[in-house]
Amino acid sequence: MNIAKDKIDIRSLSLEALTEHFSRVFDGEKSFRAKQVYEWLWKKSCFSFDEMGNISKELRIKLNKNFTINNVKIHNSQYSADKTIKNSFILFDNHLIEGVLIPTPGRMTACVSSQVGCSLTCKFCATGYMERKRNLNPDEIYDQVVLIDRQAKENYGLPLSNIVYMGMGEPLLNYKNVLESVDKITSEDGLNMAAKRITLSTAGIAKMIKKLGDDQVKFNVALSLHAANDEKRNTIMPINEQNSLKALAEALKYYFAKTKNPVTYEYIVFDGFNDTVQDAAELARFCRHLPCKVNIIEYNPISFANFINAGEDKIEIFADYLRNQGITVNIRRSRGRDIDAACGQLAIKEKAVV
């Protein structure tokens, strides 16, 4: 795949910058043409200048000469028995990422990636065993949503209803680009999706959680917790060594004070590790810091690690303890496990064909 190094990535420009470029470089072109092109790029999700119907042939030639659209493409798709679809996406520089369409009754959810690989090395997550290559640009995150939305409509006749930033990478380590992607997805000049339909999941970076509060974000935030005990959490999530539970609790309280948005805690009940009533009691104490709910997530085995999911009886006892403490608990069942599309299983096992 050739990268047009002498051309400007047009989606890296704001409307103002694009308008300025039109007036400075494209002599004789009206400034409103820049807005028309911008709408084609973001509102109509157009990946080719030649498809821009109300743009003259002469201007399309100029656009093709000066700009490129570094759009994401589907490299491969796998279909699960439960109707989940996992996609590997190829980027303009031949890196591969993964994203998933998760259909459930009344809901079509896109799980999107924010980085190529990940640097956090969580012991139970396949992506954590990959090297982080780079951050994704806002348009690369936006494109995943567009492509998965088209996939939902083509396969199930329904548009996306929800987006979760729970794919490859840590969203808060790509803060600026992730928030710009949310802006493009939620803006009237973009996909015009409601921010409350979006959830960002983080392994827990205290200072960036506070920044979410300062920026008064409107989307939902979920903390990938998995242990409410520093010693245990350090074992499976090295990020906890610099972001202790105390620091995270303070950051989350700050975030809630700024946004009034409750938080979701994601908790995998690993057999023999964090599955006791004492573990549930520690989690219940952590939940008292601010309004929240707990999603108990079914663990999906990976070849790199020896963790296994706790049995149904243990999970029910764990969940019942939390409910008896007045905590809202949901038990999330795995989707797409047979194609390695379930939570924690995303890892590139193929190479790009150039």
Q: CA Rg, the chain, in Å?
A: 22
Report the C-alpha gap between 91 and 93 in whole angstroms: 5
**One domain, residues 30 and 60:** yes
User: Which one has a higher pLDDT value, 171 or 129?
Assistant: 171
**One domain, residues 278 and 136:** yes
Amino acid at 335: R
Nearest CA to 271 out of 296, 308, 305, 297 is that of 308
**One domain, residues 62 and 86:** no
Q: Tell me the whole-structure pTM to 2 decimals.
A: 0.92
Nearest CA to 261 out of 222, 228, 295 is that of 222
pLDDT > 60? residue 348? no
Note whether residue 353 is domain-resident: no
What average pLDDT does range 130-144 have in this prediction? 96
Is residue 343 part of the annotated active site? The answer reads yes
pLDDT > 80? residue 337? no
Q: Please state, for a pLDDT cut of 70, what percent of the chain lies above it.
A: 92
**One domain, residues 315 and 262:** yes
Distances (CA, A) of 249 to 93, 212, 308: 39, 14, 28
8-40 pLDDT, tens digit each: 999 999 999 999 988 888 876 788 999 999 999
Q: Domain holding 40: CATH number? A: 1.10.150.530
**One domain, residues 195 and 279:** yes
CB 352 within 8 A of CB 175: no
- CA dihedral (63, 64, 65, 69) in degrees, to 10, reads 90
**One domain, residues 215 and 300:** yes
pLDDT at residue 342 in the model: 45
- What's the angle, vertex CA 261, arms to CA 256 and CA 264, rounded to 5? 95
Catalytic residue selected from 98, 140, 170, 298:
98
**One domain, residues 43 and 81:** no
**One domain, residues 40 and 99:** no
Least confident of 107-121, 141-155, 293-307: 293-307
Note whether residue 196 is domain-resident: yes
Q: For 77, phi and psi rounded to 5 degrees?
A: -130, 140
pLDDT > 80? residue 335? no
pLDDT at residue 352 in the model: 46
55-111 pLDDT, tens digit each: 999 999 999 999 999 999 999 999 988 899 999 999 999 999 999 999 999 899 999
pLDDT at residue 341 in the model: 46
Expressed in angstroms, the distance from the first to the final Cα of the chain is 5
219-245 pLDDT, tens digit each: 999 999 999 999 999 999 999 999 999
Is residue 292 part of the annotated active site? The answer reads no
**One domain, residues 88 and 32:** no
**Number of domains making up the chain:** 2
Residue 39's domain comprises 8-68
Q: Domain holding 169: CATH number? A: 3.20.20.70
Catalytic residue selected from 118, 125, 287, 343:
343
